[in-house]
Amino acid sequence: MITLSLIEDQREMRESLVECLGHAPGLRCVGAHATAEDGLREIPRENPDVVLMDINLPGMNGIQCVARLKEQMPKIQVLMLTTYDDGDLIFDSLRAGANGYLLKNMPQQELVQAVQQVQAGGAPMSLQIARKVINHFHKAKPASELEQLTARELEILRLLAKGHMYKEIADHLAISMSTVRTHISAVYEKLHVHSRTEAAMKLAERE
């Protein structure tokens, strides 16, 4: 039996969710709250497996509530259930600790399945939400080559670009020549270059 609580400020929607989920096989609704503040006070006592969370709530919003609830109950599973498919709200919710993001227009059976999935370790999302998440990562720029360098590699590259010889770099950083060579080899590989000049040019492009 999966127990669940929900936070939804619209009374009709709240009652509909209780009716829908409370009578689904294997689910039991142990609490329904109109505000985040009520939920934060009562949910620790109810100790549900899963919480359904609206975003647009009076007072504290659902995203803030997720973060607070996760601090109190780190293992609790939280599903956002909202009308909003805005990208910022999706990622703010996930960063706050939400385990899934659903839209309220989803069919009843899919909602029941989402509760079961999140309790089983999944991260259910409505189809159009999943598409937005995928598109976000497709558009995300990969880290630049220089950003892949460690702090030490970047330090050595700067010295190299200034014309310092390997021994001078080793003395300056109090490391061995062998270590310098190892770092420079890694720098060349990450920057896809084969010489000091090419590496220095890559650095100059950024700095």
Each residue of 118-144: pLDDT tens digit?
A: 999 999 998 888 888 878 776 655 557
Domain with CATH 3.40.50.2300 in the chain: 2-139
For domain 2-139, give the fold: Rossmann fold (3.40.50)
Closest by CA position to 78, among listed 89, 94, 90, 92: 94
pLDDT at 194: 87
Q: Cβ-count burial of 145 within 10 angstroms (0-12 exposed, 13-18 middle, 19+ buried)?
A: middle
pLDDT at 134: 79
Kindly report the pTM of this predicted structure: 0.66
pLDDT at 23: 86
Domain with CATH 1.10.10.10 in the chain: 146-206
Helix (H) or strand (E) holding 53: strand 50-53
Would you say residue 76 has pLDDT above 60? yes
pLDDT at 35: 97
CA dihedral 99, 115, 30, 57 (to 10 degrees): 50
- Determine the average pLDDT of the residues in 61-90: 93
CATH number of the structural domain 146-206: 1.10.10.10
54 within 8 A of 27, measured Cβ to Cβ? no
**Pairing mode of beta strands 100-103, 77-82:** parallel
